[in-house]
Amino acid sequence: MVAAFILRQACPVQSRLYCFVGVDKSTLHPSDVLRKLHEKFSTNFDQAIVACVQELERVDIKVRAIAECGSELAKLPNLAPSQVQLSGAAEEVFADLVTSIYLASIGLDRAAQMVLRRGFELGLAIVYLWDLPHLFWGWKQRDYDLNFSEMLEHLDSPNYRTFLEKTAGVSADAFLIDKASARRVYRTTSNTIHGKITTHKVLAADGFIHSPEQCNSHLRMIDEVATLLLDLWFKRFPDLERAVRAALPCYDRVSS
């Protein structure tokens, strides 16, 4: 807190990121500034992997389960061309969540939230588009935009649940996703993406300094997103959970 106070007093708002690493941007080459930023964020990383190790281990297993889902979906028989590509998109979700973990570990939790939002929406889209090939091709080739609320309502609709009951043996009474939790994550990340002042890091002065509380908080959000997606995928594809548990035995440690 003392360091944050000194930083706030010494640095004008527009240069606090540079003050954070103790450089004068007017006297150094940009590459030198970037190296110093890298060194500072590396220090944050070293602190995070010690202070946040329990959350990191839990999230790592769930994120690996996301990647395993993609591998298992690709093995399903009689896949349509759109479904082949959607199974591969699970690897992109995995990459986004790993990137989000890394950004949080170096103290860039706002950037981490932005990437997490991308992975979350893509993870929903995989199931949403799986049985809607015409929308998939519009999304891929005609710049069709997917809408989060529309995807969520579709996945929870009685018509869709009845469709899954008749085609995949999923109970029509089953709820595929916790809509309240999904909307809460979406709202939190939306506030960050759209720059609400309460999410600003520079104004906080200490926003780029490692905080175990902030890092763990973001890791718990990644955990929540991974859980929402895995629950959704396991319910949509009834044989998927068994295959993932067989391929990734450590998943048993983090699943209820």
pLDDT by residue (tens digit) across 142-169? 999 999 999 999 999 999 999 999 988 8
Q: How crowded is residue 80: how many other Cβ atoms within 10 Å of its Cβ?
A: 12
Terminal CA-to-CA distance of the chain, rounded, Å? 38
CA 55 to the chain's CA centroid: 15
Give dist(CA 96, CA 218) in Å, integer. 14
Give dist(CA 96, CA 102) in Å, integer. 10
Average pLDDT, the chain: 88
Q: How crowded is residue 181: how many other Cβ atoms within 10 Å of its Cβ?
A: 14
Q: According to the model, what pLDDT value does residue 25 have?
A: 59
Q: According to the model, what pLDDT value does residue 202 have?
A: 63
Query: pLDDT tens digit string along 90-130?
Result: 999 999 999 999 999 998 888 999 999 999 999 999 999 99
Average pLDDT for 204-225: 84
By the 8 A CB rule, do 17 and 202 touch? yes
Q: DSSP labels for the chain?
A: -HHHHHHHHHS-GGGHHHHHTT--TTTS-HHHHHHHHHHHHHHHHHHHHHHTHHHHHHHHHHHHHHHHHHHHHTTSTT--HHHHHHHHHHHHHHHHHHHHHHHHHTT-HHHHHHHHHHHHHHHHHHHHHHT-HHHHHHHHHS-PPP-HHHHHHHHT-HHHHHHHHHHH---TT---S-HHHHHHHHHHHHHHHTT-GGG-SGGGSSTTS--HHHHHHHHHHHHHHHHHHHHHHHHHSTTHHHHHHHH-GGGGGT--
* Distances in whole angstroms, Cα of residue 175 to Cα of each of 28, 181, 229, 232: 57, 13, 13, 9
CA 183 to the chain's CA centroid: 14
Q: Dihedral sign, CA of 162, 245, 255, 227?
A: negative
pLDDT greater than 70 at residue 231: yes
pTM over 0.75: yes
When pLDDT is cut at 50, 70 and 90, the band that residue 21 belongs to is low
Domain ranges of the chain: 51-253
By the 8 A CB rule, do 232 and 124 touch? yes
